[in-house]
A and B are shown apart, each in its own frame.
Chain A
Amino acid sequence: MSQTALNSSRRWIRPLLISLGVVLTLLLLVVPLVFIFVAAFSAGVGGVWQNLTEPDMLHAIGLTLLVAGLTVPVNLIFGTLIAWCVTRFSFPGRRLLLTLIDIPFAVSPVVAGLLYLLLYGSNGPFANILEQHDIQLMFAWPGLVMVTVFVSCPFVVRELVPLMSTLGTEQEEAAVLLGASGWQVFWHITLPNIRWALLYGVILTNARAVGEFGAVSVVSGTIRGQTNTLPLHIELLQQDYNTAGAFIAAALLTLIAIATLVVKAVLQWKLARQH
């Protein structure tokens, strides 16, 4: 093949690949996203309002926010502690601990849900104690929070560990030598260094907590107006033949996701500038 023929074929390949990429992105990502909103608004603004203000929908939104609102602080504190432990101290089993942290990513959320159900349900080892004190964990909101904490716990740790490893311990050691207490070191040295990564981890945790379906569906019992989160509510609305309602709930989740992505992009940009 002559040089010019090669060049001309190259000239064709590039736009071809680009347009293929664009078309695939459109078909697989943009069109479904747009379609969610089109389908949601097929009911008209009045229909959207009516579906949104329906008591079960309001409760589902509130419950989803409650679960996320409890999951995020728990995982924020837990994740920071673990990351601090494994990057600042050397102890036997450190690697094992890091691997264990990844378990929630490795197992299917449904398995996670079943695990909790078998452990804290009425056939589990804690059944008697829970019964005596009349504590209902599974099929109530505490169960939803528990499984959501489980499935979303690696995010903060995973964000912090690489950063804290590269940051090293010199600054903190210097602070300790100058007489700072452990808390002062954390507050004045460590936290300012990791704050963006921490926020990023929080955002990912929040996104997962809001959208979690599998684990939550196992321990929820799907009681409308009681233990039904937004993702579960979408499935129920769909089964009720209320397609518009299902899409409105889906659009709501999508909006949360988009908002999360925007915040994430901004933080990523700031994080990149920091280094």
Chain B
Amino acid sequence: MHISKKLALLLFATLLSAPLAAKELLNSSYDIARELFAEINPLFIAHWQQQTGETLTINQSHGGSSRQAQAILQGLRADVVTFNQSTDIDVLHQRGNLLPANWRERLANNASPYYSTMAFLVRKGNPKQISSWQDLAKPGIGLVFPNPKTSGNARYTYLGAYGDALQRFDNDDAKARNWVKTFLANVVVFDTGGRGATTSFVERGLGDVLITFESEVNGIIKQYPDQQFERVVPPTNVLAEFPVAWIDRNIQRNGSEKQAKAYLEFLYSKAAQQVLARHFYRVHDADVVAATAAQFPATKLFKVEDVFSSWDAVQSNHFANGGVLDQLLAEGKR
């Protein structure tokens, strides 16, 4: 008992004193970005040390980006967010006024230092001959992706499929809608998050196609070399931006304004963009793009805002309770 008490006191002391020791930044990020920031953070820490002489500690919190936004609204004092969904940053402005509405204009490229798109992971040899979104709604194809209700990743899948259908049917919404219904009917399992869907596809062997971010698809291929999965990037595709922002309210409180801004700006630097490309994200830096062109198949990207007018409209028309997604899922079951 005495020893455990002493131990507890000791732990207590170390936990309390930790925040005072060094300047800290907390980066709240999406689920699958841990490996990425584990590589970028040391680069920035070295860069910052060299520039200012200050030693920085960067802490990471990862989770579904909607859940992360919720935690920040409830008081998680993140200095910066690096999300995979701009609506989740908008929420921070709308519900908590933690940052200004124009956060997108504060950094280049819509405050999105890197981007990605959706890709299909198919089993060895692509036995079902999948090459485009159109192929996915054919009978007998089993699809795996997370539930668009809970996962930003899956929302892009849904919008990619829907947008592609709109283009194919010359913006005839009724036809596109009907096609998306058959597409959704092919889904064998809706997991709540990206990693869950990966487990269903890889370890439980469910379905013929796993749909997720291109970056993630490449990661899975590397992670499971003996399964010899293959990657398919459809010819038309949705642009998935990865927006970043500093949280004004929190950086004022934490006194971390300079560090937070420099950290996000660093994501645009050549060093960071190289790391990003190595993690199969598409980047903006011209030299890095040229050097890594072979990794990224050409595809015609459309913006969600251009095809569906705005994210707000998408949210209220498609993903809200009783919206198009719910209707299509219900109709598909009949």
Asked if A141 meets B15 with Cβ closer than 8 Å, knowing A65-B7, A117-B74, the reply is yes
Question: B71: which A residues are within 8 A, CB to CB?
Answer: 139, 221
B108 contacts the other chain (CB 8 A): no
Asked if A138 meets B75 with Cβ closer than 8 Å, knowing A221-B61, A222-B61, A239-B195, the reply is yes
- Interface contact B75-A222, CB-CB below 8 Å: no
Q: How far is the CB of A196 from chain B (nearest CB, A)?
A: 16
**A226 nearest in chain B by CB position:** B59
- Interface contact A139-B5, CB-CB below 8 Å: no
Instruction: Give the residues from 37 to 84 in chain B that come closer than 8 angstroms, CB to CB, to chain A.
Output: 59-63, 71, 73-77
Question: A121: which B residues are within 8 A, CB to CB?
Answer: 74-75
Encoded as 1 (CB less than 8 Å from any A CB) or 0, chain B from 207 to 250 comes to 00000000000000001000000000000000000000000000
Question: B77: which A residues are within 8 A, CB to CB?
Answer: 136, 139
Query: Which among A66, A136, A236 is the interface contact of B12 at CB below 8 angstroms?
Result: A66
- Interface contact A223-B26, CB-CB below 8 Å: yes
Encoded as 1 (CB less than 8 Å from any A CB) or 0, chain B from 1 to 25 comes to 0001101100110110010000000
By size class, the interface of chain A is 20 to 34
Instruction: Give the residues from 223 to 247 in chain A that come closer than 8 angstroms, CB to CB, to chain B.
Output: 223-226, 236, 239-241
**B63 nearest in chain A by CB position:** A222
- Interface contact A70-B74, CB-CB below 8 Å: no
A69 to B73 alpha-carbon distance, docked (Å): 30
Interface size on B, residues (CB 8 A): 29
**B71 nearest in chain A by CB position:** A221
Question: B74: which A residues are within 8 A, CB to CB?
Answer: 117-118, 121-123, 138-139
A219 to B34 alpha-carbon distance, docked (Å): 20
A63 to B15 alpha-carbon distance, docked (Å): 8
A44 to B57 alpha-carbon distance, docked (Å): 31
Q: How far is the CB of B126 from chain A (nearest CB, A)?
A: 24
Question: A141: which B residues are within 8 A, CB to CB?
Answer: 15
- Interface contact A241-B61, CB-CB below 8 Å: no
A112 to B133 alpha-carbon distance, docked (Å): 43
A62 contacts the other chain (CB 8 A): yes
Question: A62: which B residues are within 8 A, CB to CB?
Answer: 11, 14-15
B35 contacts the other chain (CB 8 A): yes
Question: A239: which B residues are within 8 A, CB to CB?
Answer: 31-32, 34, 62, 195
A159 to B15 alpha-carbon distance, docked (Å): 33
A-B contact count (CB 8 A): 69
- Interface contact B26-A69, CB-CB below 8 Å: no
A223 to B223 alpha-carbon distance, docked (Å): 25
Query: Which among A63, A118, A225 is the interface contact of B59 at CB below 8 angstroms?
Result: A225
A233 to B73 alpha-carbon distance, docked (Å): 23
A62 to B34 alpha-carbon distance, docked (Å): 22
Among B5, B18, B71, B223, max chain A CB count under 10 A is at B71
Among B14, B28, B76, max chain A CB count under 10 A is at B76
Q: How far is the CB of A68 from chain B (nearest CB, A)?
A: 9
Query: Which among B14, B35, B76 is the interface contact of A221 at CB below 8 angstroms?
Result: B76
A127 to B172 alpha-carbon distance, docked (Å): 50
A223 to B75 alpha-carbon distance, docked (Å): 13
Question: B76: which A residues are within 8 A, CB to CB?
Answer: 138-139, 221
Asked if A69 meets B62 with Cβ closer than 8 Å, knowing A139-B71, A240-B35, the reply is no
Query: Which among A122, A222, A226, A241 is the interface contact of B73 at CB below 8 angstroms?
Result: A122
**B34 nearest in chain A by CB position:** A240
Question: B59: which A residues are within 8 A, CB to CB?
Answer: 223-226
A64 to B107 alpha-carbon distance, docked (Å): 40
Question: A138: which B residues are within 8 A, CB to CB?
Answer: 74-76
Question: A222: which B residues are within 8 A, CB to CB?
Answer: 61-63
Q: How far is the CB of A231 from chain B (nearest CB, A)?
A: 15
**A141 nearest in chain B by CB position:** B15
Encoded as 1 (CB less than 8 Å from any B CB) or 0, chain A from 213 to 225 comes to 0000000011111
- Interface contact B73-A65, CB-CB below 8 Å: no
- Interface contact B26-A136, CB-CB below 8 Å: no
Q: How far is the CB of A200 from chain B (nearest CB, A)?
A: 16
- Interface contact A69-B63, CB-CB below 8 Å: no
- Interface contact B62-A236, CB-CB below 8 Å: yes
A226 to B21 alpha-carbon distance, docked (Å): 14
**A72 nearest in chain B by CB position:** B4
**A221 nearest in chain B by CB position:** B76
**B15 nearest in chain A by CB position:** A141
Query: Which among B14, B75, B223 is the interface contact of A139 at CB below 8 angstroms?
Result: B75
Question: A225: which B residues are within 8 A, CB to CB?
Answer: 59
A121 to B71 alpha-carbon distance, docked (Å): 9
A-B contact pairs, 15 of them (CB 8 A): A62-B14, A63-B15, A66-B12, A69-B5, A69-B8, A70-B8, A117-B74, A122-B74, A127-B75, A138-B74, A221-B61, A224-B61, A239-B32, A240-B34, A241-B223
Q: Give 4 new A-B contacts, CB below 8 A, not counting A62-B14, A66-B12, A240-B35.
A: A65-B8, A121-B75, A122-B73, A239-B195
4 residue pairs, one from A and one from B, having the closest CB atoms = A122-B75, A69-B8, A121-B74, A139-B76
